[in-house]
């Protein structure tokens, strides 16, 4: 009985120490580091329009069909619903995935007035989260003429907005340049109000 109580006491002390370290101190240190090193990202990367919170640049915003003033993000398996983030779980060789990609490619080609063969892969395939706001520079350039016509902005202005919304890979090594459609569309919205 005495050995049992001693083990129980040790277990309770360990639980108390682990709770303080892992449940209080560690979260406070991580929160403080986030606020100190990258407060914008730690607070959701909220973009503002007219000094009001408008969107998170970490998540794509859907663009309604027929809305030509804005850049379309990648397709979304979850219809841009953050509560249901995820992919379609269809494998690369699944016929349903190939059919969906071809349908999306045809829709993008019709919207942009180009041959289906010139539609970039990211325009026809969803990201793993279904919420990724980043598109390739090629997809942004494909959409630029349509957006310029619909907004009345010049091609040079649209190209500048695309450049401003483009992020480059870390140290120029990992990944490729990506255009954030949420940031880009907010910049266009501020210009054409």
- CB-based contacts of 77: which residues, under 8 Å, 6+ apart? 86, 87, 88, 126, 130
pLDDT of residue 172: 67
Residue 71 has pLDDT above 70, yes or no: yes
Taking only the tens place, the pLDDT of each residue in 9-32 is 999 999 999 999 999 999 999 988
d(CA 58, CA 55): 9
What mean pLDDT, rounded, does the chain reach?
A: 87
> Please, which contacts does 177-180 make with residues 24 or more away whose CB atoms are closer than 8 Å?
177/136, 177/137, 178/134, 178/135, 178/136, 178/137, 179/71, 179/134, 179/135, 179/136, 179/137, 179/139, 179/140, 180/57, 180/133, 180/134
Contact between 101 and 92 (Cβ < 8 Å):
no
Q: Where are the domains of the chain?
A: 2-40, 46-191
d(CA 15, CA 20): 9
Burial of residue 133 (number of CB atoms within 10 Å: 0-12, 13-18, 19+): buried
Taking only the tens place, the pLDDT of each residue in 144-154 is 999 999 999 99
């Amino acid at each position: 009985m005495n050995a049992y109580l001693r083990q129980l006491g040790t277990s309770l002390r360990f639980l108390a120490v682990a709770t303080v370290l892992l449940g209080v101190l560690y979260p406070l240190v991580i929160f403080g580091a986030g606020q100190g090193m990258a407060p914008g990202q730690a607070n959701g990367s909220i973009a503002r329009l007219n000094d009001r919170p408008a969107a998170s640049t970490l998540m794509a915003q859907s663009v309604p069909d027929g809305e030509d003033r804005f850049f379309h993000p990648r397709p979304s398996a979850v219809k841009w619903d953050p509560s249901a983030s995820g992919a379609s779980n269809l494998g690369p060789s699944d016929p349903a995935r190939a059919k969906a990609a071809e349908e999306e490619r045809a829709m993008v080609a019709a919207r942009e007035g180009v041959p289906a063969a010139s539609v970039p892969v990211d325009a026809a395939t969803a990201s793993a989260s279904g919420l990724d706001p980043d598109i390739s520079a090629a997809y942004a350039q494909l959409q630029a003429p349509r957006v310029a016509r619909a907004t009345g902005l010049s091609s040079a202005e649209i190209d500048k907005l695309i450049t401003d919304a483009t992020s480059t890979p870390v140290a120029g090594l990992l990944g490729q340049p990506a255009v954030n459609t949420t940031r880009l569309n907010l910049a266009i919205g501020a210009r054409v109000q």
